Chains A and B, each alone.
Chain A
Amino acid sequence: MKKRTITLIVNGETFELTVVPNELLLNVLRDRLHLTGTKYGCGVGECGSCTVLLNGKATLACMTLVVSVDGKEITTVEGLGRYDALHPLQQAFLDHSAVQCGFCTPGVLVTAKALLDENPHPSEEEIRQYLRGNLCRCTGYTSIVRAIEAVSKEAGF
């Protein structure tokens, strides 16, 4: 396989990487850039744990060839906020206990960010439809929906 050098802009930071065609974006993020917030769940596009934003659009990193995103902007959960300045969604998930085991949470947060960027004031039904590809086996979703609703009602959104 031919190696090639690509540029990734991850959470605003530019990385030059030498990659081979069968490397997946998820594994590059986790194993090479050590951004382990994005999770490997099913590997086949059914669970949503590996969701990242690719040029602002929710995308499954486990099914994305890293060579195919050369030059593009990727936002992972680490890019939403910092420990000392959480994104409003991250704070709302804490406030509403929308996190239990936490494994699906990075994917859910990233998908919720895409939702609010696209539709700042979604209805409960719109939230549930948008998140239907992010499986959570702990919360039953109610607290997740409440947290997102709370953010959408805050000023500035």
Chain B
Amino acid sequence: MLSDTKILPGEFEYFQPQTLTDALALLAQWGSRAKVLAGGTDLIVKMKRLLVEPECLVSVQDLPELHGIRQEQLDGQPADEVAGGASLRRGGFETRPPDSAWQHALVIGAATPLSLVEKDPLVRLHYSALYEALRSMAAIAARNMGSIGGNLANASPAADTAPPLIVLDAVLRLASARGGRTAPVETFFRGPGFSLLDVDELIVEILLPPPRPQEGSAFLKLGRVSCDISKINAAAWFQREGGLCLDCRIAFGSVAPMPLRTPALENLLVGAEIGERLLHQVSSQAGAAIFPIDDVRSSSQYRRQVAPVLLEEALRTAWIRTGGVL
């Protein structure tokens, strides 16, 4: 539906709490009548178009817990207790190198603008797929406003940060007045616009597991022009030992009701000797592993046809970044 996008027609109360406790109390009080305002690049557009009509906005711009990027030492503690993270359950830390720089998880405040995450040297160095996704998104002004947590909380199937965070095994720390919990990004999405966030809950932080030796990741997307939302996107992550794939994760965006991990494709690669032919073979099955629809941005048929091309390029790039050869 079109409406006059010059104004915000709806009336609402506005709160800009200064502490996380106050913010969570407001969300508990207003429940489903409230919306969390981060950068507003999705929410304000939806409000202009009357797709959502909140009675109250709770701004997270002044909450220190939701801003900034820091390293968090795992400190020899059982990793599950530190992060509750999916990767930590994989036992990946047993092989971590002694260098202490490799023992830090990267923690990103959920309201940190996309442009600041993109500029972080550790993101660029160790989390290539996320860096490439951020670079591909919108343009500078929208990236200065929009936040990484907002991109997730909006729960668009096309959210560009979702496939990279899934393959990088990122974990979300959520909070409500009832307490905190963690959830791997992989399990966060429930459908278009729906996530496992309760109405009184916020994403506080996004935790990226410490970098590991001989790992590499990549992100690719197709849009119509450079600022566009994805017609389709893909992210891949490898951990290598010699010529073997030790572990692998693959995820797509804009091809299903939610960002989609494809274990069927991963299983063809884990434990295998990686070469051009295998990557081509596995990629050629991508069209059958996704569930795209026809919509305003592309057709189901086109998405199925380009998925193999996109995936093959992402897999090749990620593998080369592990130090592997093809």
Please give the residue numbers on chain A whose beta carbons come within 8 Å of chain B beta carbons, in ascending order: 1-2, 20-24, 27, 40, 42-46, 48, 51, 54, 57-60, 62-65, 67-68, 111, 114-115, 129-134
Contacts and interface: CB of A to CB of B under 8 A. Distances in A.
Given A44-B5, A58-B144, A60-B145, A132 B40 contact: no
Contacts of B262: none
Contacts of B225: 132
B40 A130 contact: no
A133 B5 contact: no
19 contacts: A1-B14, A2-B13, A21-B11, A21-B57, A22-B7, A22-B8, A24-B8, A43-B6, A44-B5, A45-B41, A45-B45, A46-B227, A48-B141, A57-B115, A60-B141, A60-B145, A63-B40, A65-B44, A111-B140
Interface string B10-28: 1111101000000000000
A58 B238 CA distance: 36
B56 to A, nearest CB: 9
B59 A68 contact: yes
A24 B227 contact: no
B61 interface: yes
B7 A130 contact: no
Given A44-B5, A45-B141, 8 more contacts: A22-B7, A22-B12, A23-B8, A43-B5, A45-B142, A65-B8, A65-B40, A133-B227
A22 to B, nearest CB: 4
B226 interface: yes
B101 interface: no
Contacts of A24: 7-8
A133 B139 contact: yes
Interface residues of B, number: 33
Interface in B177-235: 225-227
B138 interface: yes
Contacts of B49: 44
A45 B138 CA distance: 9
B37 interface: yes
Nearest to B15: A21
B48 interface: yes
Interface in B223-263: 225-227
Contacts of A64: 40, 44, 145
Contact of A68 (B4, B7, B16, B144): B16
Given A63-B45, A68-B16, A134-B139, A22 B144 contact: no
A1 B12 CA distance: 6
Contacts of A57: 115, 144
Contacts of B48: 43-44
Contact of B5 (A48, A51, A62): A62
B138 to A, nearest CB: 6
A42 to B, nearest CB: 7
B14 A65 contact: yes
A20 B13 CA distance: 9
Contacts of A133: 138-142, 227
